[in-house]
Chains A and B, each alone.
Chain A
């Protein structure tokens, strides 16, 4: 068995970082939105589990963009709804 898989190392997985409270409020006031309006990510997403984020955290994702070279995106961690 190889060492435990680190999903963040995979080329298809961009950088995930938990944002601090100040960063989140700056982000929300900049776009004039609430956290509910952000795209979502489930709490059991492999990348979320790896960085150890909890429900209601906001995650900053730094993507390698095809057009801009580098692009930031934000996702709110939510609980996976039961089927």
Chain B
């Protein structure tokens, strides 16, 4: 029997988090209870909830620091892990955790998990098609490249079969190859000539005096990326939980989102600054939580998410991802003494003296330094005795 409507409304109106309400609903759903029993249950739940809430003036930051720091000492110093069985290497363990907290612009092993749209995710061949659009493929994979030393030419014969298989028109390659050598590789001292019918491109250096130029040109021609996204070195297609997912080595979420067939609602990267710029600060906050939790859990360390959420909230407070440390959160504190207590003490004190800075002594650290009661726990409460007038 579903829960009576009057109980429903009372649960909804109660000052409880959604998760607790849902659990209460689920628990009471098929039970027969009277009005007074229900009142008692709700009362107890509310009481229990209030008693588990963090108390005012609790030093949550210190608790979070200890709760992440202590298990952190047990993490492996240097681990590399192959994501799943796919041979993609990702940094994990302590180095990765440091990377997240330092808000590095680029992780040491950027990688993406690309989900595919419905029409693509169930078919291996179609998933492979999407992967061709993403994986950076150099020109030498599409045909034979020969260096003609007599006439000072680099000749590319495109293999039309390979082009067909990879779903790219030879004409497109003939257009992109010279352009990319100029724009991406910044090598401009050459001329080129295309022959559409035989699918050949002939490159010749402007300076025909030296063979060095020719070989340099040949190197550029061989390695120019003509298909896919330049930053993504490798793509692995894997079937997981009933659908095909692409794992990539290298990350560029902005360009991957433009590829047809990519599910732009689920695809993610481990590059947090990229997420912040493409999806916004709130997505970056979620990404920090997700990355930190999965790094810790992978090592078999269970840290309560609340601590990580606090860290992540602090990092994303000012609208951009700030690192924990003297260039980020700790370096932007109001108090001079608090900053000086953290790192590079002398510099902070000197700069503060030059700038005629005043310390309001409103925080914790600075009051510990000067030996005053701190505003935490019982230190924050002021008691005033009101005399009772008995008549």
List residues of A whose CB falls within 8 A of some B CB.
1-2, 5-7, 9-14, 16, 39-42, 45-48, 61, 63, 65-71, 75, 78, 80
A2-B258, A65-B17, A71-B17 given; name 4 further pairs at CB < 8 Å. Answer: A12-B268, A13-B280, A39-B319, A45-B281
Beta-carbon contact of B279 and A12 below 8 Å: yes
- Given A2-B264, A5-B257, A40-B317, check contact A12 B275 (CB 8 Å): yes
> B11 to nearest A CB, angstroms?
13
Beta-carbon contact of B19 and A47 below 8 Å: no
> A1 to nearest B CB, angstroms?
6
Binds A, one of B63-71, B168-176, B243-251, B283-291: B283-291
Q: How many residues does chain B have at the interface if contact means C-beta atoms less than 8 Å apart? A: 36
Given A41, A66, A69, which contacts B289 in the complex, CB threshold below 8 Å?
A66
Chain A CB within 8 A of B161 CB: no
Q: Is the interface of A mostly helix, strand, loop or mixed?
A: loop
User: Which chain B residue has the least Cβ–Cβ distance from A7?
Assistant: B279
Given A39, A48, A63, A71, which contacts B280 in the complex, CB threshold below 8 Å?
A48
The number of A-B residue pairs with CB atoms under 8 Å apart is 100
Given B17, B264, B290, which contacts A5 in the complex, CB threshold below 8 Å?
B264
- Given A12-B286, A12-B287, A45-B319, check contact A2 B17 (CB 8 Å): no
Given A11, A40, A69, A71, which contacts B319 in the complex, CB threshold below 8 Å?
A40
Chain B residues lying within 8 Å of A9, measured Cβ to Cβ, are: 264-265
Chain B residues lying within 8 Å of A45, measured Cβ to Cβ, are: 280-281, 319
Chain B residues lying within 8 Å of A46, measured Cβ to Cβ, are: 277-280
Chain B residues lying within 8 Å of A69, measured Cβ to Cβ, are: 17-22
Bound complex: CA of A17 vs CA of B286, how far in Å?
A: 18
Bound complex: CA of A11 vs CA of B260, how far in Å?
A: 19
- Given A1-B258, A69-B22, check contact A7 B17 (CB 8 Å): no
